[in-house]
């Protein structure tokens, strides 16, 4: 799967392992060109859509995906017999380290101050950076 994801070279590639549900959900793995990842939002929604359309082949209220992060339920809404909206409930974020603003502001060449930098996990690690922007644009 990793070799295929590397060859396709999309930001994420999903693989549906079977057309038969396991533990009420479909086993799915997600890969970037570099590695397997436990969760990614847009690929999860897109994969649920494909499972409903190509495997289940009839309207259903929910599609459950068994991902490395755990089971994710995707809710499907319909209009005119076609899927019109997909929503999911992912794991609650786990907040990690909050970084020292004085050290970051001294170390960066950007003329804008960092307000907050913190890490969090929603199945995949993220770093959130909050900066003060002027209304007239990023840089003058």
Active site residues: 12
Rama region for 87: left / alpha / beta (φ>0; ψ in -120 to 50; rest): beta
Q: CA 119, CA 126: separation in Å to the nearest integer?
A: 6
Q: CA 122, CA 96: separation in Å to the nearest integer?
A: 11
Q: Where are the beta strands (DSSP E) in 4-47?
A: 13-16, 26-31, 36-37
């Amino acid at each position: 799967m990793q070799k295929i994801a590397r060859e396709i070279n999309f930001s994420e590639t999903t693989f549906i392992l079977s057309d038969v549900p396991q533990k009420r959900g479909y086993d799915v793995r997600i890969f970037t060109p570099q590695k397997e990842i436990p969760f990614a939002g847009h690929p999860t929604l897109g994969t649920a859509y494909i499972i409903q359309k190509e495997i289940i082949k009839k309207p259903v209220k929910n599609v459950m995906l068994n991902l490395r992060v755990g089971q994710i339920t995707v809710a499907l809404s319909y209009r005119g017999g076609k899927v019109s909206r997909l929503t999911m409930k992912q794991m609650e974020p786990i907040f990690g380290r909050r970084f020292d603003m004085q050290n970051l502001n001294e170390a960066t060449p950007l003329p804008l101050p960092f307000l907050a930098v913190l890490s969090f996990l929603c199945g995949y690690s993220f770093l959130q950076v909050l900066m003060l922007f002027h209304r007239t644009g990023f840089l003058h």
